Amino acid sequence: MSPGNFPQALSFLANGKPIDPQHFKDTKTAHADLESTAPTRRKPLSAREAQVLHLYSQHKTTRQNASHLGVSLSTVYTFKNRAIEKMKVNTLTEAIHYFKNDTRNNNI
C-alpha cells in the first residue's frame, strides 16, 4: 500500500471492511469465525461457589445464604463473585442460568 492510499485504507478499516478482500475477511466475518472456534472452557466451581449459586437459584437472599452456610455476608459475596468470574459472565442472573443448565451441577 502506498502512503497516498493511507486515508482510504483507514476509512475502509473504520467501516469494518478489509483493505484486500481477496486475502482478508471483513471484521464481522472474522469475529464470527473467532467466536465459533474460541474455547469456551470455564474454570470449575469450588463446592462453596456451587452451593452459593444453588442457594441463589432457589431465590435465597445473600443473608439467607450466609446463615445457611454459616459464613459472613462478605464471604458469600466472595464466592458469588468468584463464580461469576470463573463462568465468564457479567451478572449473577447469567451465572445462575448457566449453573442450572450445567448437568454437572445436578447432584448439588
Does the 47-105 domain belong in CATH 1.20.58.100?
no
pLDDT at 3 > cutoff 70: no
Q: Are 96 and 54 in contact (CB under 8 A)?
A: no
Distance CA 97, CA 66 (A): 21
Distance CA 32, CA 92 (A): 26
Distance CA 9, CA 83 (A): 43
Residue 8 — very low, low, confident or very high, per pLDDT cuts 50/70/90?
A: confident
3-state secondary structure 52-91: HHHHHHCCCCHHHHHHHHCCCHHHHHHHHHHHHHHHCCCC
14-43 average pLDDT score: 74
Please enumerate in sequence order all residues whose Cβ is within 8 A of that of 80, keeping only pairs 6 or more positions apart, or say none: 49, 52, 53, 56, 62, 92, 95
What are the pLDDT digits (tens) for 36-91?
665 556 788 999 999 999 999 999 999 999 999 999 999 999 999 999 999 999 99
15-29 average pLDDT score: 80
Most confidently modeled range among 3-7, 26-30, 58-62: 58-62
The domains of the chain are located at 3-37, 47-105
Q: What is the pLDDT of residue 63?
A: 98
More confident residue, 77 or 15: 77
CA torsion sign for 102, 103, 106, 108 is: negative
